[in-house]
Each structure stands twice: as structure tokens, then as C-alpha cells.
A and B are shown apart, each in its own frame.
Chain A
């Protein structure tokens, strides 16, 4: 005796958000049933395992049928096959494009290509995320990347318009696209402590202040390439460390401001020149693709780690960076104030975001 066929179709598509999540997480039907039972689904409506199984099957089937549509979300609202209430449409799309930040962290900066796709097995076993789920997330990244690659205009808005995602999620996707496009090095051991959210924040900063789109949002093609002219101009900042007077003056200005205000004053005083040199060198080398890709590793190695070994607190660091960047204004000989502010604004917030254990 067995149920040969069992379907339930509603005129309005019946969706259960919890089951949808289980499906998205790549569970098999029997796994999903077990999880639902553990979550206490049996208490509802006098259900039993059989009912739960049948319901789960139906829902999984529905989601599978919807998947095709979800891959181009604008179609969800215009298709005829499923009558889905608008708020459910939004939910379906949003959840479909949501991803695990652990997974995104692994893929971040990698080329979204077949080669990487082959690594999904490893990522799956490393992160504990089901392979099916990894594939979906990876395909989503790739898909979003492909679509927005060709589009003009601001990245986040493009993603939002084409994938009908929420602002937060669209920003995360923008970060992924940005990283995939710029191919930043994120996989080094020293960078492992950084989460996806750290990188996403940095990406947001870079997109907002350093890219072509930040200046002119009607540029051709993907506007997440950094502005070449700006990178070139960064070389001018070298004067800050090359000119010995300027460096000393800068140091004394910062020290005057911070005396008595931070605990690590003496360490700061000792390492000021090294730190300043590190930041300015990073800036001056950004025109080289290789160095550009190493932006984060450089920041960590040359700035974050020295501070950490001197046991700076985050408050100390914040104060230091604030005065370090603002006291440049008082250097009369320095004429690249605008470039400096644009550079330091981003670097400052990135470092603060990255400065944790």
C-alpha cells in the first residue's frame, strides 16, 4: 500500500515560510519533515508524520516550479501560472536571494566561474552548508554579476531594480559584485578573521567614495571600477612621508592632540612614522593591479597588526585616526587636501571596521 500520487494545488499558491526556508537550505524532504517535527509542527492541527510529509512534498514541488521564475524576479509578478499575493512574492524573492555570509565570505574575491563552482564541494563541507544550497547561492552571485555587469548607473539601484531586493540585500550583492569584479585578495590566513560583513562594509565605502560611479553615475558599463585618476593622484600623498619636515610636523601635531587622551601614547609616538608610512605607501601603490588586490592584506599587515600587538583599544585607534587625518589640514605645505580626505575617509572607516579579533 502506498500513496502513488498526492498533490494539492490552491488557486492562490499556498506557501509556508518555514518550509520555504528548509527548501532553500537544501534539505531533502525527509530531513525537512524531521526538522519540522522537531520544531513542533505536529502540535498544530493534529497533524501526523504522514500529513507533514505530504505537505512538505507539495511545498517543495511548488518551490521547484517557482525556481525558474525566481531566477528572474521581475517575472514573478507577471507570470500567470501561480497566483501569489504580492507580499508573498516579495518574501519568495528576498529569501531566494538571501545567502549565508559564511558562504559568501568563502567565495568573496574569487572569480565567479566554473572553476570556483567546482570548489563548492569543499566549501560545503567546510561551512556545513548543504551543497545544493551552496550551488543556489553561487548561481545567484553569478547571475546577479552577469546582469549588472552590462548595466549603466549605480550598482545598488540596478540590483534593486532587476532583482526586486530589499536595500540591505542589494547592498550585500553590490559588495559581492564589487569584490568579484576587483578580485581583492581575501583568502590569506591573516584575513581569515574578517567576516563577510566587514568586507561588505569596506566594499560599500569603496563603492561610495572611490569608484567612477561615485563621481558620475552615468558612466558606461559597470561603474564599480575605481576611478583611475583618483588612484593616480594618490601618488601625490607620498610627500607626507618623503618630506621629513612634513612628517615631523604631522607627528607633533597628532601627538599634541592626543597627549593624555589615549593610553598607548608612547607606543603611538614610537610607531607613528611607521604607521603613517604604511598608509601613504598603500595609497601610492593602488594604481598597480597587484597591490590594489592586496589592499586588505596590506592594511592588516602594515597597520592593524602593529596596532594590535601594541594593544591599542578601538577607542584609541579611532582618536588616533581622527587626528591623524584631520591634522594634515594644518600642514601648510600640503596641497592635496581633497585627495587626502577622500582617501582617508574610506581608509579610516575600513580600518575601524577591520580592527577586531
Chain B
């Protein structure tokens, strides 16, 4: 589709149905015209609407900025207040030197960021063979190459990293994203990458300009993805606009101490707005930072990165998902592309609405690790947004959710509404307890929203709802807090609110997040269990959007519930890095794949333990600046050559007993320790080494002493005796088990005992039960490592210091 959208501030966009319709009309009209502009690369005028949506026929992207939502803005829609997009939407016309854009020869379906030298930093640095300093390595290279000015001159100051050393992120603006719908059969030379490169080029430019609009000069946590159905392809990119510390960009040798000296930032620095508050790019409600009281912060922050280690967080976090399914007519070629791009803005907007509502419902104010997947099928579009919600101490406490009805005269209806309201309020209270969110009460001061006379509340609309003004008369604030208003104007809305409330609560003893680590949990035990779960669901035909939504949502919920049930023996535990992947393998089929790791932790947080575990995982929200400083310093100095201390590797290599016991301890169950005697005996009789796998970059309670390189394996399996192998489930179960086994064997053959940063990048499953056949392709990757238990390290180490200094490595990086 060649419609172009710029959806500003989607989380709180204040557009009305009529304005949406305007845009839709515009874009539909422009569709025909813009096709040409695309494929012949002729240039149409880039026009922009006067609303928050601007559309740009030349630049076929659906673009979305998920920025801190604004406070209420009456009369929005009349004019766009100071959107600093003066630079205008980028057009492909701009003279570009494709300097950093190496043509990729591979005709890959999934054009990932690795195809092109997209990020300027080496991607992770972890897989780089013998390079031992996993964290400092890339950083060092990066530092040498980059200067602040260089960063700004760079074509794409994008970082795919999601975790950074403290002080590196100065400010975080919010999520920037861009999407584009393309027709693959229009590529003139499918074997040549030019056309695809040009497509990504457009999207990256778009991302870059969005970051600029937020006053940021870089994008972190950047990722790209595609979804293909027949000849239609949706290209997506998203990241987090940020301002990075110039100290890290300086040329010259690493002068660690100096570089860090002045960077020491309190745990709120990154929350401070990067943009000019007087020239704010979107409506937002700003307050003074609740930590330092000096700088301004938005009321909500969405990001794609991991929670910075220095962040001050109140309570615990949790996984928040928005799920959406939209039917679409079967169509071909351009018609199909148009239909898809007409649906996309609604889809994205609703996803954000859901995210925002669920965030409020949990009494939280920030999302980390946001990942939105849009999947396209013949007759539907799927949207799944996953993120980890937390309460950032620096940000104001979120208001409640207020629901209002359209027909206040009806008494029974009113009663129904007030019942729901009560339920919502109860849920919020319950959630605050559950996630231990009890921030200190502070006097609120709302400042500098650029909109004249802001009503002190924000309203929340569903995309289908018409705007209505009645609500403005109601006093909806809880005390001084702002409430979101959910208006119930049709049956859909009732369903939605029900859906909101019926999200089941997580069973006792469980936590979940899609980021590396969970704020508020430090003392992990060594019990970890990585798993993959795949479900394929067959839908009935002729489902309504509501029905589809419900099914999809239930599918995800049930999958999660199932995971909790299966892992109940590990409580208290946290499911980390919950990575959902949705696909529409066929018409009427929805496939959801989840890979995550369950990690147990000790409930008792003794003081003694607290310090140790903080060092182990580096996840402690550090308030003591001095501690933070010295810790990081240690990490930096030691990491360039972690093997400099003669202990560690040599010990492991030369003492088989040490090695054996480390593997024996790898028993994934919490009771492993008590059984260590027995398991030790059994180990000696077995030739199979235990290999741990985790999607995280670290192993709790252990230190990674050597990186053995990247593991990237593709497997294709086919069967012509599907029934005999236990049907599709039996076939896939065996296959996944075998994939794990092969990865483990590969790592063991390299001399490693764990895989970190493991991910299943692709799982394509096809079946033909009539022919008794099925095929499956799986792509997995990760880093093979050798780790040693910290306890053993301390035992064997002559210099006890080295153990502590090196531990900090394990917790960071990606």
C-alpha cells in the first residue's frame, strides 16, 4: 500500500473517527498515484495533513511514534500544536550516499538488521570468537570509531543493543516505529537487493526523522522485521529514540576512570525529557522528576530497550500484552495491499490503547522491551504487542481508569457501569498490592503542557468510538490524580472492557517479563529452565472481529497459564524474556511460539544475600552512587581481558573435578543441591554433559569465563508418516527436542557448558494431514559459553578479588 501515515503520539492520539475517515479517504485516493511513485521512484509531492496524521505518498510507511502520552487536550484536531516535523517527511529524493548501506546479496525472507551494516556498533560482540571481553569489547571498538559528532553525521545512528552501561543513556524519548506495506512481485530483479535496500532505506530514514522529532540523535533497541503473505509484505522497524552520552563517543584510548567520573547519574536521568518542553513534539503532560525534582519527565514512558540497570523502580514489574485480530477481505495485489494499510493504523492504535489501559490497570507508568508484531494472513491481520510494565519512581503515579456510558439516563445501565468501575478500581488496588507498588506520596505539580488550559485529566478513546463531549462535564479525577476515561459507546466497548478485566491474574509465586531481568528480584538461584512452546489454533470461518479477538487473546492467555502450570514446581520463579512470536501459517490457522526461561529465586532477601546477588546480576537498582561507580569500574577494567587472572579457565580445564561438579550442579531443579551427592555419582557414569540454555545474556550465580562463538543453526525436518509419529504435535515435539539436543551437543563439542542469548528465530511449520506429511523449519541461535559457578570460583581463586570484579560481566550486555 502506498498510503502513508504518520501517526503521532499514538498512545493518546486524540483523533476522532471523522478525522480518521478524512485520512483514510486521502490515503485511499492517493493509493493509485503513489504506486507509481514507489516503483518508478518518481516523486510525488509529499503532502501532509493538518492533523496528527500526515501522509506521504512517496514514503510508504505507516509510522508510529509511541511517546509519552499527553494530558487531555481539548480541541485537538483543530490544529497540530507545534509538531516539530519541520524537517518534513523524508523522501527518497534526498541525495543519499548509501555509504553505510551495503547491498545484501542474500535473498532472505527476513531482512534482519544483520543484512546490512545497520547498526554502527558491532552487534553484540559476544559471538566474536575468542574475544573475551564481551561487554567492553564492542564498546571499545565503538568508542574508537565513534565520536559524538560522528554519531550525528552517521546515516543511521541506530543501536540494536538493548542494554547499556550506566550513564550511557542520557535521555530516552520514547518509541519510534515505522511500517510499510510492499508488493514483492513488483521487484524487478528479485535476485538483486537494490529494491529491498531502498525500502529499508525509506523506513530507516523515517525512524531517524522520528527520533529527531523527539529531540534525540540516536535510536537504541532498534529492530526490523517483516511479515509476508503471498506477494504482500509488511516491513516494520522500531526502536527507542535516545540521547547518548558524548563521553562514550570520544576518540582515543579508553580512559575509563575519566569517562565515568562525571557520568554518574542518578536513577532518573534517562527519564528526563530530551525534547524542548516549550516546543513539545506532541501533547504530553510533564511534571518535575519525582526523584531529583529538577528536570521534567513525561507521565508515561514506552521503550524497546531493557530496563537500565541504574533505573529507580518501585515494586516489581510484569508482562503486559495487547492482542488484536482483525479480519480482512481476501484480495490480490494492490487491492490487498491497500486493504492492509487501511487496517494498520487502527490496529496499531488499538494495540496502544490496550497497552495503555493494561498499564494503568496495573498501576504502572512505563513499558520496557516493547515489541509489536504485526502478522498478515489472507483473511486477517494479527497484532501482538508485548512489553514489561514497571513503575518508574521518577515518573508520576498513573491515574486510574474511569469508564463512562453514553446514555447516562438509563439506570440499569448506569448501575452496570458503576459495577464495572468498581471492578476496575478493585483490580488496580489488587495489582498495586501484587506488584508491591507503593510509591511515597508526593505533592504533584503539573507543569508546562503546551496546550492552553489543559483539563487535568487524560481521556482515552477507542478508535472506533466517536468523540463525545459529555464526559467533559464529569469530574473524573481521583483526588489529584488523573483518570483515563474509557467511554462505553457500543457493545464492542463493553467487550473490550470485559477483556481488560478478564486478563487473569498471575498465580502466586510467579512473575513474568519479556526483558532480561525483572526489577525487584535479585537473588536468583541456579535453577533455570529454558523452554519453547508452540501452539497452532484452527479458527472457524466467518468469525467477527470481536470473536477473533477473543480467540486470539484466549489463546495467548491460555498459553501463559499453561506455562505457569507446567513450571509450578519452580516457584517462586520468574519467567524472563518471554518472547512471543505469532504467525498465520495458513488461512484460519494462528501459530504462537514462545521461548523463555523460568528462573527460581530465593524469597528471603537477607541483607547478606542482597549484596552478593546484586553483584551477580547487576540488576540491583543502585542508589548508592559510590557503589555503582566502583562496580562499573571494576567491570570495565577487568573485562578487556577477563582471562588475565590465571584462575578461571585454566582451573576449569585442568581440574576435571571442578568441571564435573559445576555440571552436576546444573540440575535445573531447586532441590538440586540437596541431591548433589546422588547426581554426582550418576554423572560419573554418564558421558553426557549438562548444557544449560537461556535466552538471557547471563546465568544466575555463575560467571561466564569464555565465549566460544555464535551458534546459528537451521534445521529442516520432513515426515511422510505423520500419524505414526503421533500427529503434528508428536512430530514437532520430537523435532524441537532434537533441535535442543543438537544445540547442546554442538556446544558440548566446542567445550562449552551453556548457551546464552538463545533464541528461536524461525519456526515455520506446514502440514498436509491428508497426505500424512508435515514439514518444519527451525532456526535457532545463541552464544556458546563456558561458565563456572561463582561459589567454585571463590573456592579455587587465589585472588578473591578477581571473582568479584569479573562477576559484573555476566549481568550485562546482550
- Contacting pair B562 A55 (CB below 8 A): yes
* Bound form: Cα–Cα A46–B678 in Å: 34
The 8 Å CB contact of A14, one of B551, B558, B566, B685, is B566
* Bound form: Cα–Cα A79–B742 in Å: 12
Q: Which residues of A contact B681 (CB under 8 A)?
A: 86
Chain B residue nearest in CB terms to A14: B566
- Contacting pair A12 B504 (CB below 8 A): no
Chain A residue nearest in CB terms to B537: A3
Q: Which residues of B contact A9 (CB under 8 A)?
A: 531-533, 733, 736-737, 740
The 8 Å CB contact of B533, one of A2, A8, A48, A52, is A8
B419 proximal to A (CB < 8 A):
no
- Contacting pair B565 A81 (CB below 8 A): no
Q: Which residues of B contact A44 (CB under 8 A)?
A: 565, 568
Q: Which residues of A contact B733 (CB under 8 A)?
A: 7, 9, 58, 61-62, 65
Also in contact, A64 and B692, with CB within 8 A (given A4-B536, A77-B685): no
Instruction: Name which of A46, A54, A82, A83 has the most chain B CB atoms within 10 A of its CB.
Output: A83
Least Cβ–Cβ distance between B589 and chain A, in angstroms? 7
- Contacting pair B745 A80 (CB below 8 A): yes
Q: Report which B residues bind A (CB closer than 8 A).
A: 504, 507, 529-540, 551, 558, 561-568, 589, 591, 667-669, 672, 675, 678-679, 681-683, 685-688, 690-693, 726, 728-730, 732-734, 736-738, 740-741, 744-745, 765
A51 proximal to B (CB < 8 A):
yes
Chain B residue nearest in CB terms to A47: B565
Q: Which residues of B contact A8 (CB under 8 A)?
A: 531-533, 562-563, 566
A122 proximal to B (CB < 8 A):
no
Chain A residue nearest in CB terms to B687: A78
- A/B interface sample: 28 pairs, CB < 8 A: A1-B538, A3-B535, A3-B536, A3-B538, A5-B535, A5-B536, A5-B729, A6-B534, A8-B566, A9-B737, A10-B529, A57-B729, A61-B726, A61-B733, A65-B733, A77-B686, A78-B686, A79-B688, A81-B737, A81-B738, A83-B691, A83-B740, A85-B667, A86-B675, A86-B679, A86-B683, A90-B678, A90-B682
* Bound form: Cα–Cα A48–B565 in Å: 10
Give the residues from 291 to 324 in chain A that come closer than 8 angstroms, CB to CB, to chain B.
Answer: none
The 8 Å CB contact of A5, one of B507, B690, B728, B737, is B728
A45 proximal to B (CB < 8 A):
yes
Q: Which residues of B contact A86 (CB under 8 A)?
A: 667, 675, 678-679, 681-683, 686
Also in contact, A1 and B540, with CB within 8 A (given A44-B565, A46-B504): yes
Q: Which residues of A contact B737 (CB under 8 A)?
A: 9, 65, 81-82
A87 proximal to B (CB < 8 A):
yes
| Size of the chain A interface, CB-CB below 8 angstroms | 41
Q: Report which A residues bind B (CB closer than 8 A).
A: 1-12, 14, 44-48, 50-52, 54-55, 57-58, 61-62, 64-65, 77-83, 85-87, 89-90
Q: Which residues of A contact B564 (CB under 8 A)?
A: 45-46
Least Cβ–Cβ distance between A15 and chain B, in angstroms? 10
* Bound form: Cα–Cα A58–B563 in Å: 12
- Contacting pair A46 B507 (CB below 8 A): yes
- Contacting pair A7 B533 (CB below 8 A): yes
- Contacting pair A55 B531 (CB below 8 A): no
Q: Which residues of A contact B551 (CB under 8 A)?
A: 1
Least Cβ–Cβ distance between B514 and chain A, in angstroms? 18
Q: Which residues of A contact B566 (CB under 8 A)?
A: 8, 14, 55, 58
Instruction: Name which of A10, A11, A62, A86 has the most chain B CB atoms within 10 A of its CB.
Output: A11
* Bound form: Cα–Cα A4–B686 in Å: 38
- Contacting pair A51 B534 (CB below 8 A): no
Least Cβ–Cβ distance between B770 and chain A, in angstroms? 14
- Contacting pair B669 A85 (CB below 8 A): yes
* Bound form: Cα–Cα A65–B732 in Å: 12
- Contacting pair A85 B679 (CB below 8 A): yes
- Contacting pair A7 B534 (CB below 8 A): yes
- Contacting pair B535 A6 (CB below 8 A): yes
Q: Which residues of A contact B744 (CB under 8 A)?
A: 11, 80, 83
Also in contact, A80 and B678, with CB within 8 A (given A5-B535, A5-B728): no
- Contacting pair B529 A1 (CB below 8 A): no
Also in contact, A10 and B530, with CB within 8 A (given A4-B536, A44-B565, A86-B678): yes
Chain B residue nearest in CB terms to A9: B736
> Which 6 A-B residue pairs are closest in the complex by CB-CB distance?
A86-B682, A5-B536, A77-B686, A12-B668, A86-B679, A10-B531
Least Cβ–Cβ distance between B779 and chain A, in angstroms? 16
Chain B residue nearest in CB terms to A60: B726
Least Cβ–Cβ distance between A93 and chain B, in angstroms? 11
- Contacting pair A1 B539 (CB below 8 A): yes
* Bound form: Cα–Cα A90–B686 in Å: 13
* Bound form: Cα–Cα A47–B564 in Å: 9
Q: Which residues of B contact A5 (CB under 8 A)?
A: 534-536, 591, 728-729, 732, 765
* Bound form: Cα–Cα A89–B683 in Å: 11
Instruction: Name which of B567, B591, B690, B733 has the most chain A CB atoms within 10 A of its CB.
Output: B733
Q: Which residues of B contact A1 (CB under 8 A)?
A: 537-540, 551
Least Cβ–Cβ distance between A125 and chain B, in angstroms? 28
Q: Which residues of B contact A52 (CB under 8 A)?
A: 565
Q: Which residues of B contact A48 (CB under 8 A)?
A: 561
Least Cβ–Cβ distance between A190 and chain B, in angstroms? 45
Instruction: Name which of A62, A78, A81 has the most chain B CB atoms within 10 A of its CB.
Output: A81
Least Cβ–Cβ distance between A101 and chain B, in angstroms? 27
- Contacting pair B561 A85 (CB below 8 A): no
- Contacting pair B682 A45 (CB below 8 A): no
Instruction: Name which of A9, A89, A90 has the most chain B CB atoms within 10 A of its CB.
Output: A9
- Contacting pair A45 B507 (CB below 8 A): yes
Chain B residue nearest in CB terms to A76: B686
Q: Which residues of B contact A54 (CB under 8 A)?
A: 562
The 8 Å CB contact of A4, one of B538, B672, B691, is B538
